Structure 1
Amino acid sequence: MIRPVAFRMNEQTAVNNYFQEDLDIKNAEINTKAQAEFDTFVEKLRDVGVNVIVENDDLRMDTPDSIFPNNWISFHENGDIALYPMFAENRRRERREEVLIRLENEGFVIKDVYDYTPAEEEGFFLEGTGSILMDRVNRKAYCALSARADEELLIEFCEDFEYTPVIFTAYQNVDGNRMPIYHTNVMMCLGEEFCVICLDSIDDATERNNVLKHLKQDRKKVIAITESQMHHFAGNMLQVQGRDKKYLVMSADAHSSLTDQQIKMIEESCEILSSDLSTIETCGGGSARCMMAEVFLPKA
C-alpha cells in the first residue's frame, strides 16, 4: 500500500472515471483527510493480522493517484511480476523501482518482469488488477473492456501468465448515456467461494450469461449488487487472509449499502472489515480494493 503525499482529484483520470467528484476544499486539506483515512485503514488491517507493507509516495513525482498501486503492478506466485500501461500520463510516474527493492528487502523473490508499458506509446492500456480480475485458482481473467482495458493486451497477458480470458463490457449511466465502466474491479469482486458482481451493468445478455457460466463452473456463489450499490463501491472489495481467518475488505460506504441478505451471504464465507474512505472515494474514484496490491511472491 502506498501512503499518499499529494492526493487530490486527478484531472487526467476524471475524463473517463465517472466515480470521481470534485470537493470544494483545498488540495492540502484533501491530502490530509486522505492520509488519515489511509492510516486508519492500515491500522485496521494490521489489527486483524494482515501483513501490510506501506511505502511512502514521493512528493517530487506529483502522483495524485499513487494511493491505488494495484493498477501499475501485479505479483504472482512463481516470482513473476507484471508492469502495466497506464491511461493517464501522470500515473505512469507511479511505477517506482524502489517499491520492488523494498519487497526484496522484505524477503520476497522477484524472478521475471513482464513489461507491457511500451503499449502506452501506441495508445493502448491495461491497468493491472483494476482492469483484470484474476481467479488465480481457476486461472481465469475477467475483464470489462474500456479505454483502460485493451482486449489484445489482455489476451497477451493471458498467454504469458496462462489464464483463460473472460471478456465483456460493463456500463454505467452518465448524463443519460450508457458509458463503459473504467475498471472491472469497481463492478466485480472475486472471493474464494463467491463473487460480488453488478450483473445489471453488463448490458449484453450473451456476455452476462458467459460470465455467469464461468462463475458457476467454478462453483462461485453469485452475490448480485445493484448499480446504485456499485456507485457506493460495493463491487470494490478484496478478500484477504488475517491472523486466523479471512476477511472481505471494503469501505464503510460499501458496507452500509449492502442489504442484510447480501451481508449474510458474504459472512457465510468470511468476516467483513470496513473503514471510512469517503475522501479517497470521492476525489479518487476508487476504494478499498484499489488501495491494495496483493503480494503473492514467494519468500526467499
Structure 2
Amino acid sequence: MSQTTNTILMIRPVNFRMNEQTAVNNYFQEDLNIKNAEINAKAQVEFDDFVEKLRAVGVNVIVENDDELMDTPDSIFPNNWVSFHENGDVGLYPMFAENRRRERRDEVFIRLEKEGFQINNIIDYTSAEDEGFFLEGTGSILLDRINSKAYCALSPRADEELFIEFCEDFEYTPVVFTAYQNVDGKRLAIYHTNVMMCLAEKFSVICLDSIDDKKERKNVIKNLKQDGKVIIEINESQMHQFAGNMLQVKGENDQRYLVMSKAAHDSLTPKQVADIERFCPILSSSLETIETCGGGSARCMMAEVFLPKV
C-alpha cells in the first residue's frame, strides 16, 4: 500500500468559469468580472503550465479533454467525482451541484484502460443525490492509505452517514470533525476537507484553527500523531490562499514532491517551507484564475491513479 502515486489524471477545461451552482457554499469563489471566454482561456494557460511542470519532474500526467457539449464549468476538479484504488476499485461520488454531475464520464475509464490500468469494480454512491446527500470524493475525504484512516470535515457536501458507508466499503477507520471559516462575521462549514488539510506520507499540513470543537481537534491531532505524522500548522489566512490544498506526488526515481499553487507557496513562512522541505521539495505553479473563479486549487485538479497495471 502506498500513500503517493506517480500517475495523475487531469481534465483540461473547455468551458471553465465561475460556477454559480457551487458558489452557494464555496466561500473561496470570487467573480472576476471578465468574459467567460477570457476566463477559460486564462485557465487553460494555467492548466497547461501546471501539467508541464509536473511532467518536467517525471510525474505521469494523463490529460483528458473536457466535453464542450456538457457545460461543466468545474470539470477541472475531477478528484471530487472519482477515486482510484490499488485493488482496482473505483469510487463514484454524489455531487452537490447538478451541473457537476455531468462530469462523471465513461470516456475517462476507457482512457485509463487504454493507458494500461485495470478497473475491477465500480462502487457507486451517486444514487444518494436523489435523497439530497453528498460526498465529494477526495475533496471531502482525505485518505491515509498506509494506516487505513479516512479524515472528513462534515459540510453540506460531506454527509456523515455516506462517509461511514464509504469507510466500511473501502475498509478505512473514520476520523470525523467539522471545520469552519469566517464568512461575513459568521463561522460557516468549509466546503471540502482538502482545503484545510493535506496528508502526505510523513507529515500533514493542517489548519487546526478551523476545527472549533476542542474535542474534535484533539482527536484529529491524536490520530495524526499516532501514525507518526509531523503536524505542520497553517493559519486561516494561509488556508484562504489555498495552503491546505496540496498533494504529495512521486516524480522520477520515486522522488516525492509537495504540489501546490504559487499563492499557497507565497503564503507560507520560511519556517513552514523549511519544515516541508525536510521531507520533500515543493513544486508550485500559478493558478490565479482557477483559484479565484473555481474556489479550488492544485490538489483539486489532480485525481490520483492508484489502479493496478494490466
Pairwise TM-score range, normalised by the shorter structure: over 0.9
User: What are the within-5 Å matches in structure 2 for residues 59-74 of structure 1?
Assistant: 59-74=68-83
| Structure 2 residue matching 1:108: 3-state secondary structure | coil
Any gaps of 5 or more consecutive residues in structure 1? none
| Equivalent residue, structure 1, for 2:282 | 272
2:51 to 6, 28, 42: 42
User: What are the within-5 Å matches in structure 2 for residues 1-300 of structure 1?
Assistant: 1-244=10-253, 245-300=255-310
| Structure 2 residue matching 1:60: 3-state secondary structure | helix
| Structure 1 residue matching 2:62: 3-state secondary structure | coil
| Runs of 4+, deviation exceeding 2 Å | none
TM-score, scaled relative to structure 1: 1.00
- For 1:64 and 1:40, the matched residues in 2 are separated by 19
Q: How many residues align?
A: 300
Instruction: Show CA shifts across 1:75-118 (max 9, x none).
Output: 00000000000000000000000000000000000001100000
- For 1:259 and 1:239, the matched residues in 2 are separated by 19
- The code of the aligned residue for 1:119 comes to A
- For 1:261 and 1:167, the matched residues in 2 are separated by 29
1:11 positional shift: 0.1
Instruction: Show CA shifts across 1:18-67 (max 9, x none).
Output: 00000010000000000000000000000000000000000100000000
TM-score, scaled relative to structure 2: 0.97
Instruction: Show CA shifts across 1:192-218 (max 9, x none).
Output: 000000000000000000000000000
- For 1:75 and 1:99, the matched residues in 2 are separated by 12
- For 1:119 and 1:269, the matched residues in 2 are separated by 39
- For 2:117 and 2:259, the matched residues in 1 are separated by 24
- For 1:150 and 1:63, the matched residues in 2 are separated by 23
Taking only the aligned residue pairs, the percentage that are identical comes to 79
- For 1:208 and 1:31, the matched residues in 2 are separated by 39
Any gaps of 5 or more consecutive residues in structure 2? 1-9
- For 1:139 and 1:19, the matched residues in 2 are separated by 30
1:228 positional shift: 0.2
| Structure 2 residue matching 1:53: 3-state secondary structure | strand
| CA RMSD after TM alignment | 0.3
